Amino acid sequence: MFFALSVALAYVLTNIDGLFAFLALSSAGRRTQVLTGFLAAHVLVIGGSFLVGAGATFLSPEFLGYLGIIPIGLGLWEIWKTNRRSALDKTETQSANSVIGASSIFLALSTDTFVLLAAIFADSRQEMDHFAVLGAVLAVIGLFAFGTLLSNGLAKNKKIGRFFERLSPFVMIAAGIYILLDTTTDVF
């Protein structure tokens, strides 16, 4: 169960930018499209990362840990990108007038989560996959509930958004280091 909670925490922290996009878009109107698009995007992220992670079984088990390099690289890339331009500024200019538009925004903001979750699925033993799925589903439920409750007030507070936006890459780096290490959830 601890594994599920750690996956949920990593999922939430890598989706803070998506949460603030959710808050901004839902408070600006088109609430139904945003809610549906958010859920559809995360179903695709979880399902796709499970398929990619399961497909990585063709790799030798001793090389699976090296998948941690990908989230570390993405985390470093996000730190560099954040220093150049705020991700929140980009999401405010995009449109969410349809479910497909909202889903596209959330999918674009979830690429780091997709890679992280796929690496977790690939690196962990098969009997641990249901805990990873449970953690991801709990995270989506938590993000959805939190976003729905706070969409009116918090979307306007850019300081909090920037704080969590800056925290997210460090979570990716920490998760990548976790994947690089041999742990009790690993294949071998």
Give burial (CB, 10 Å; 0-12/13-18/19+) of 29. Answer: exposed
Looking at the whole model, is its pTM more than 0.75? no
* DSSP H or E run through 36: helix 31-55
pLDDT tens column, 123-171: 778 888 889 899 999 999 999 998 888 876 655 566 765 665 666 677 6
Task: List CB contacts of 126: < 8 A, sequence separation 6 or more.
Answer: none
Residue 105 to residue 21: CA distance in whole angstroms: 8
Give burial (CB, 10 Å; 0-12/13-18/19+) of 83. Answer: exposed
Residue 26: predicted pLDDT:
74
Return the percent helix, strand and coil in the chain, to nearest 5: 85, 0, 15
Residue 58 to residue 36: CA distance in whole angstroms: 35
pLDDT tens column, 59-91: 555 665 666 677 677 778 777 877 776 544 554
